[in-house]
Amino acid sequence: MKKVLIVVGIVAAVCMVSVLGFFVWLGTMLESGAMPDTMVVVGNKLSSPARKAIDQAVTIRPDESILFFYSAGLWSWNEDGSLVTNQRVISYHQGEEDGELYVLEADYADIESVTPYFSDTWAEDSSLIVELKDESFFMLQFSNEEDLDHSAIDYVLKQVEAQGGTIGDDQAVDPFMDEEADYEEPDVEEPAEE
């Protein structure tokens, strides 16, 4: 019985040290900027790994300033990113299957409308649906931590309004969040059996 207790104690100690080591490693990676922040980052406070990921995704124009950046990526800045600059909004993500980087962007003058969806829970990001004048659309995401989602989204709303775009109702159904939004089962007639 004594040997069993010693083995159980050793296994428990190894597990506890492993878990503690993981959290120390995770904290170190977050603090050093090697992993994405859990909140929106103001442009002048971007870490070099974040800036490197942005530079790989998109070319920042000479007279352009990054104002807000958020990555919903879990392990890497390259997985996903939403940028607000003084000239445009940019969303990028890495394809799950092909690993390709997909970038969607719009100058404020090219935006027809934007619709904000503010989250009030820590587990869900706020989002901003951007509809372009060519009727295409994409989504930006922002963590609601420290209300920086409001700062980023409010800036975009003001820029879009200044360019003649419209602002959608933030109480509307978010088509990216609600599986039933804007979807109706098509009426299909079954072929008659002959």
Most confident stretch, 72-86, 115-129, 179-193: 115-129
CA distances from residue 97 to 33, 67, 71, 126 in whole angstroms, order as listed: 26, 31, 19, 26
Using CA atoms of 44, 48, 52, 57 in order, give the dihedral in degrees to the nearest 10. Answer: -40
Cα separation, 50 vs 71, in Å, equals: 9
pTM beyond 0.75, yes or no: no
β-pair type (101-107, 88-94): antiparallel
Query: Which DSSP category does 100 fall into?
Result: -
Element (H, E) at 85: strand 80-85
**What confidence tens digit (pLDDT) does each residue in 46-60 have?**
777 778 877 888 888
What phi, psi does 147 have (nearest 5°)? 60, 20
**What confidence tens digit (pLDDT) does each residue in 133-161 have?**
888 889 998 888 787 888 888 999 999 99
Give the CA diameter of the chain: 79
